[in-house]
C-alpha cells in the first residue's frame, strides 16, 4: 500500500490496522517537510521522489471548495473527478 510519510504516524489509528499491517507491505513516499517515524508493526520501504508539497487530503478539500487543481492533477483525472462528482460537497 502506498502512503505519504505525513500519514505514516497515523496508521495505528486506522480501523483494522493490525489486520492491514499483517496483510500488506507499505511503500512510504517521503513528503516535503515531514519526518519518517518507524512503526514496529509496519513493514515499510521508504522512497524519495519529487513529491508535490500538497497532500491528498488537501487536494480533496481544494476540489470540494471548487479551487483550480490543474497544476497538481492531470486534465484527464480532473475531468473524471468532475464527471463522477467526486469530492463534491453535498
Residues in the chain: 90
d(Cα 74, Cα 78) in Å, to the nearest integer? 6
With a cut of 90, say whether residue 4 has pLDDT above it. no
**What separation in angstroms does the CA of 30 have from each of 5, 24, 47, 57?**
5, 19, 6, 16
pLDDT, tens only, 30-82: 887 778 888 888 999 999 888 777 888 889 999 989 899 988 999 999 889 98
Amino acid at each position: 500500500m502506498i502512503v505519504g510519510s505525513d500519514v505514516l504516524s497515523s496508521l495505528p489509528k486506522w480501523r483494522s490496522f493490525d489486520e492491514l499491517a499483517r496483510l500488506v507491505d507499505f511503500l512510504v513516499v517521503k513528503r516535503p517537510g515531514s519526518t519518517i517515524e518507524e512503526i514496529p508493526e509496519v513493514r515499510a520501504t521508504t522512497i524519495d521522489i519529487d513529491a508535490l508539497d500538497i497532500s491528498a487530503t488537501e487536494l480533496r478539500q481544494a476540489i470540494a471548495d471548487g479551487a483550480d487543481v490543474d497544476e497538481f492533477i492531470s486534465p484527464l483525472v480532473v475531468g473524471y473527478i468532475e464527471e463522477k462528482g467526486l469530492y463534491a460537497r453535498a
